[in-house]
Structure 1
Amino acid sequence: MTGVIHGAGQEIESPNRDLVTYTDASVNRKSDELRLSKETGLEFTSYLWDDQNIALELNDVGTVEA
């Protein structure tokens, strides 16, 4: 895998040449860098955090996935 960091985001190219983009930001009380979203060519997942734990994973239309 190869990767390029763009500010608070990161693009990773998988071995099969798919591009995956991760977006991180300070979102908890301790200002830790936590993942906000993951995007591939086929899907988008956003993460809702409860301080240190992922509370919900949502798809591109806001449906709860986990």
Structure 2
Amino acid sequence: MSPVSKERRKQLRDDDANWKLGIFYFCPQDPSFLIPKRFGIGWSLNYGSPWSLLFLIIVIALLVWGIFF
């Protein structure tokens, strides 16, 4: 994966096509796992990153394990 410049990351994050339903950021070209939220304060996941998929699987597995075991 080639490094992406800060300017290019900003362009990707400002592009409406990368925001699904206006709140979910999905951009495989952006290598960042967490990004600043589009509106408000805080952080959001880059759902195009493989690390966010792994993170979501772990969180769901922990929740299921905590409820059923």
Q: Same fold (TM over 0.5)?
A: no
Q: Give me the TM-score of the superposition, normalised by structure 1.
A: 0.23
Question: Which structure features the higher share of strand residues?
Answer: 1
Larger C-alpha radius of gyration, 1 or 2?
A: 2
TM-score by structure 2 length?
0.22
Q: Report 1 or 2 for greater relative contact order, CA contacts < 8 Å, sequence distance ≥ 6.
A: 2
